[in-house]
Amino acid sequence: MRLFAPHRGPKTEPSSAVGTAVRKLARFHQEEDGVFVAFSLFVMLIILSVAGIGVDTMRFEMERTRLQNTIDRAVLAAADLDQSLTPKAVVEDYFVKAGITNVVPVVDPKTGVGYKSVNAKASKVIKTQFMHMSGVDTLTIPAEATAEERVPKVEISLVVDISGSMKDNSRLTNLKDAAEIFVNSVINPSTTNRVSVNFIPYSEHVNVGPDIMKELNVNQVHNYSHCIEFDNSDFDSAALNKSKTYQQMQHYQWNYYSIESGYAQNTRYDTVCPRYSYERVTVMSQNATALINQIKALKPRAGTQIFLGMKWAAAMLDPSFQTINAKLATLGKSDNNFNTRPAAHTDSKTLKTIVLMTDGENSSTQRINSQVYANSSHYAHWDNYNFNYYLSNYVYSNQRPYWYWQKYSATTGDSLLQDICDAAKDKGIVIWTVGFETTTHGEDEMRECASSPSHYFDVEGVQIKDAFQSIARQINQLRLTQ
């Protein structure tokens, strides 16, 4: 008989495994170790994101530095006063050579007499490598730079017509007002020891005064007035030839019709060579009061020889005049702060400019025959007699032509004017011209003399004030701290 073990029901192992699992899950649910795992994953994502942003930021900064360096160099080159290319062409060329071909810079130049300012802007768009995951697909890189170059020193020759026709239509009055505005505009506390003004009033000749004559080789034969004769070849150069001997201009007056009365008389105040001290040239001044007082004293005189005024304007800006100016400074005849001027024409720190004004055109002019202008008695005689008055009253009409000869014709004067204008421009001197109620021919001559068409002003009446103010305004742009 077989014996069987008593029945004890199903085995309990499976139930124990399930319970164990449940208990473990319960313990896992109750434990906090899983939170740190999730947090770690989250932090890793943040780190990766920040790292990606850093990569994009580094790319942005590298491109920005490259773009900014390129635009900085470009505007510096473009603002160079010696740069012959346009600012736009210079900036674009720098970008091409830097390999930045997908950017078009915007160039804004501003130029004036003796200064150039160039502003340039550019922007470049780059695609992000990581930041796009946060919705930033592109980054725009901006760059901007401004550079300017200005001339800190200015030498000016102001040349004004005081010929007889300036008495008409209040021209001389309007000129005086305009010249005063000009002087006050270019000379003020901000220009101290930077801007010097040569003042050259001219009519049929230019009175340079005894001090300048002493510094040149001049055959001086009288002391009545102080004008120097030039040969035609002297107008081919802005310089004074200090090795040659110049002749002194004769002292006499040919116009025997009184400006005040209008009839013939033995007048002698209107000499071909201006004789009074206030009609002398002023050298290298920054004394606005003294210049304005001289301008206010001017009176209309004789004929018009523009080329002689222009010759002295150029010569007083030429380095050949430096030793003369230095001597004048020791005598108190020019400002000692400018005793080393005129600067060399190649001095990039100095602007040389001429402002030339006339109300007419070159006229013909005569000289007395040497036979009746040969000694001190003759010189004294023509100081006592108006030349044409004497001929009309004491010389037979058929003999009068033998008493004088023509020094310059109007045509010769025009040719010499353009010669000296070209010589000055060849040296880099900037020439402004003002035609004040002049003739059509006079306008043409002044326009040709100017540095460019925009440097010529055709004005009437009080418009001359606007012209002089406009010129002064452009020169004022030079006044910066070095």
372-377: Cβ within 8 A, 24+ apart: 372/403, 373/250, 373/252, 376/221, 376/222
Spatial separation of the C-alpha atoms in residues 274 and 251, rounded to whole Å: 9
- Could you give the 3-state DSSP secondary structure of residue 138? strand
Task: Give the separation between CA 11 and CA 174, rounded to whole angstroms.
Answer: 131
pLDDT digits (tens, 9 = 90+) for 99-132: 887 888 999 998 765 678 899 999 988 787 766 6
pLDDT in tens, 179-223: 999 999 999 887 899 999 999 999 999 999 999 999 999 999 999
Give the CATH number of the domain where residue 385 resides. 3.40.50.410
Query: Average pLDDT in the 19-42 region?
Result: 58
Q: Do both 203 and 311 map to the same domain?
A: yes
Q: Which two tokens stand for residue 275?
A: 């004789």
Find residue 283's DSSP bridge partners: 334
**Residue 255 shares a structural domain with residue 378:** yes
- Per-residue pLDDT band for 291 (boundaries 50, 70, 90) equals very high
Whole-number Å distance between alpha carbons of 36 and 9: 46
Per-residue pLDDT, 80? 82
- Total domain count for the chain? 2
- Give domain status of residue 332, yes or no: yes
Of 294, 274, 278, the residue nearest 226 (C-alpha):
274
Confidence at residue 263, expressed as pLDDT on a 0 to 100 scale: 67
Tell me which of 98, 133, 149 is where a domain ends.
149
Length of the chain: 482
Structure tokens belonging to residue 229: 């004769």
At residue 257, does pLDDT exceed 70?
no
Largest CA-CA distance found in the chain, in angstroms, rounded: 194
Average of per-residue pLDDT values in the chain: 87
Question: Is residue 266 helix, strand or coil?
Answer: coil
Cα 61–chain centre separation: 40
Residue 10 lies in a domain: no
Together in a domain, 337 and 383 = yes
Same-domain status, 77 and 224: no
What percent of the chain clears pLDDT 70, i.e. is strictly above it? 84
Q: Are residues 208 and 116 in the same domain?
A: no
Does residue 91 contact residue 143 with C-beta atoms inside 8 Å?
Answer: no
Structural domain of 199: 153-476
What is the per-residue pLDDT across 328-375, written as a single tens digit (0 to 9) for each? 999 999 999 999 999 999 998 899 999 999 999 999 999 999 999 999
SS3 346: coil
pLDDT of residue 288 exceeding 80, the answer is yes
